[in-house]
Chains A and B, each alone.
Chain A
Amino acid sequence: MLEIADLEVAFETRMGHVKVVSDFSLSVARGECVGIVGESGAGKTQALLAVMGLLPRGARVSGSARLQGEELLGRGAGALDEFRGARIAMIFQDPLTALTPHMRVGDQIAEVLVRHRRLSWSAGRERALELLRAVHIADAERRLRQYPHELSGGMRQRVMIAMALACEPDVLIADEPTTALDVTVQAQILALLAELKRTRGMSLVLVTHDLGVIAGLADRVAVMYAGRLVEQGTARAVLKAPRHPYTRALLDSMPRLDVPSSEPLRAIRGQPPDPRALPAGCAFHPRCDLAADLCRSARPRLRPTGDGMVACHRPLGAAAGEEGPTS
């Protein structure tokens, strides 16, 4: 459905050319949910904004991103507009700032249909009403005529989702869709996404730093660190038996219910690296307990392991003889 290959994103800044995403390849099958995890600044959002053609001016994008075989990158904004909102849609982190403050939410939803389905505004609003009901907004007739600031955070995110679903896109990209919401609302929104994915056979790309979200929704997981993919595999395998020490550390840093709360959280030591000055070798080695000489000098390639991929010289759980450090 969506095939991203060798994606690279760089920004021209006063400090020079800064690469924020390198060698990023990912494929998402029909009806599949792929989660992309990593710390802030790992390049998750940048990679997907690049696919949508939404990066600010000054960004340099190369590589390829195909939607059902059709290349998205390198198209002018005009040609891309035929895809965006119709066949590939995106929802954003903070639904208050992501909705236009002076437009009624019904009109913001109808707008997509007027644009892509050539509906009249009144037909668009009628359809918007159905969409609001589909994302379980109570009292939808009234909400339709309200402005974003009159809705709660959860309702705003439902509006965002309704907007993204309006044209029944093949792929929905959700960039931290629940980060700005409180926990109970988070669960409702995730349940809604799961339901839509199941009932509509839509592919879902879910960007998050919350592994709990991944566990609940994703079929496969891609872990990003410092602009690169470091591990990829089925959600079950990656969460249960991570191969990359960074994934392990991410999992360990999560608060857990089955561990006494007196036990301190294990934060990952150090800071995410500055993309302007990445460490040599494996970008994670300064924070890795297992780092060896090789890790400091040579960058590990993404290699297949079992049913996934990992970019590590010393992957965890490698049985003797299977995948030891390459000499």
Chain B
Amino acid sequence: MFRYAVRRCVGMLPTLFVIVTLAFFVIRLAPGGPFDEEQTLPPEVKANLEAAYGLDRPLHEQYLRYVAGLLRGDFGPSFRMRDVGVSELIARGLPVSLTLGVSALLLALLVGIPLGVLAALRERSITDHGVTLLSSLAIALPAFVSGPLLALVFGLYLDVLPVAGWESGQPRYLVLPVVTLALPMIAYVARLTRGSLIEVMRASFVRTARAKGIPESQVIRRHALRPALLPVVSYLGPAAAFAVTGSLVVETVFGLPGTGRYLVQGAINRDYTLVMGMIVVYGSLTLLCNLLADLIYGWLDPRVRYE
């Protein structure tokens, strides 16, 4: 399995290369550049700036220089934030974003799976219908609605949690963002768990376990739950991507100093290197999550072969 993981990691490189190449040229397709502002710069100044960042060179040359930099681990300078490299910005913001994303994913699993199990075991009961209804709501509500709502209730009315902001080492600031980001994921995980557990409980091997006199709680835990979690694991890849895109909104709503806002700001400002850096980071994270999902899949189902 270790060899499989290593091989998959190596296999990610071509994928990343394609992502980098596509992103590089697509950004350039958008009209405007990093030094076009409402207040137009004197042409000489603009020409100087562009020369300094190599933007006056032909596009393919810029591309080759960027890729060469990447291979050395250099994401290049930010065009708009003076004196700061993109690598430094990422190093500053990524820990916050990762904490947010990973916590939200864990919360989604810890809450979503038990909810789904509960709904499945009481199929068509009030509990089941309640879970289904609430999960539809959680999926339908975008973070820019649920986030401020949660901030309003828990930050303002109840006054138990900070409305926004960040102080490192203070997990209180993470609670509302994590919950906001996790809500739709909890809902998806609960639905997937419910659906597949209902199906697995009708499987022949569950009947065998019952015929052996195994108490129902153990039938579920030992026999039914593992196969029922396979769809949830498959969802981990997309969920990771969702945690990333969701964090853009959530970090903005709660004013967290994560990397999400760099992507937005970078795109608005045509800060090419910053956007590229974020794309590389988010792309790698998504690929890694997919690999992780595949490895967990094999652990849950011994019939999966790594070849």
Contact = CB atoms under 8 A, between A and B. Distances in A.
Contacts of A94: 204
A111 B300 CA distance: 19
A90 interface: yes
Contacts of A80: 213
A54 B210 contact: yes
A116 B223 contact: no
A56 B207 CA distance: 9
Interface residues of A, number: 32
Interface in A138-173: 147, 149, 160, 163
Given A94-B204, A101-B302, A102-B301, A89 B211 contact: yes
Majority SS at the chain A contact face? loop
Interface string B216-228: 1000001100110
**Residue among B205, B213, B214, B302 having the largest count of chain A Cβ atoms under 10 Å:** B213
B205 A54 contact: no
Contacts of B211: 52, 54, 84-85, 89-90, 92
B202 interface: yes
B82 interface: no
A194 to B, nearest CB: 22
A112 interface: yes
B298 to A, nearest CB: 11
Nearest to A52: B211
**Residue among B202, B204, B212, B216 having the largest count of chain A Cβ atoms under 10 Å:** B212
B223 A85 contact: no
A163 B212 contact: yes
Interface in B239-298: none
Contact of A56 (B202, B208, B214, B227): B202
Interface in A46-87: 52-54, 56, 77-78, 80-86
A92 B204 contact: yes
Interface in A102-154: 102-103, 111-112, 115-116, 147, 149
**Residue among A53, A80, A81, A112 having the largest count of chain B Cβ atoms under 10 Å:** A81
A188 interface: no
Contact of A102 (B210, B212, B216, B226): B226
Nearest to A90: B211
A77 B216 contact: yes
B303 A101 contact: yes
Nearest to B211: A90
B67 interface: no
B209 A100 contact: yes
Contact of B213 (A83, A102, A149): A83
A85 B218 CA distance: 15
Nearest to A102: B226
Given A103-B223, A147-B303, A149-B303, A115 B205 contact: no
A135 B16 CA distance: 54
A290 interface: no
A74 B222 CA distance: 26
Contacts of B210: 53-54, 77, 84
Interface string B131-168: 00000000000000000000000000000000000000
B215 interface: yes
Nearest to A84: B213
A102 B214 contact: no
A98 interface: yes
B202 to A, nearest CB: 7
Contacts of B202: 56
Given A78-B215, A83-B213, A100 B302 contact: no
Nearest to B208: A98
B9 interface: no
A100 B213 contact: no
A247 B211 CA distance: 31
A169 to B, nearest CB: 10
Contacts of B213: 80-86, 112, 115-116
Contacts of A90: 211
B301 A99 contact: no
Contact of A85 (B205, B207, B212): B212
A103 B302 CA distance: 8
A81 B207 contact: no
B197 to A, nearest CB: 15
Contacts of B212: 84-85, 89, 111-112, 115, 163
B154 to A, nearest CB: 41
A77 B206 CA distance: 14
A97 B215 contact: no
B81 interface: no
Contacts of A116: 213
Given A147-B302, A147-B303, A81 B214 contact: yes
Interface in B174-230: 202-205, 207-216, 222-223, 226-227
Contact of A101 (B207, B209, B301): B301
A89 B226 CA distance: 25
27 contacts: A53-B210, A56-B202, A77-B216, A80-B213, A83-B213, A85-B214, A86-B213, A92-B207, A92-B211, A98-B205, A100-B205, A100-B209, A101-B205, A101-B301, A101-B302, A101-B303, A102-B227, A102-B300, A103-B223, A111-B209, A111-B214, A111-B222, A112-B212, A115-B215, A116-B213, A147-B302, A163-B208
Interface of A: 52-54, 56, 77-78, 80-86, 89-90, 92, 94, 97-103, 111-112, 115-116, 147, 149, 160, 163
Interface of B: 202-205, 207-216, 222-223, 226-227, 300-303
Task: List the 4 shortest-distance A-B pairs measured between CB atoms, nearest first.
Answer: A85-B213, A85-B212, A84-B213, A97-B204
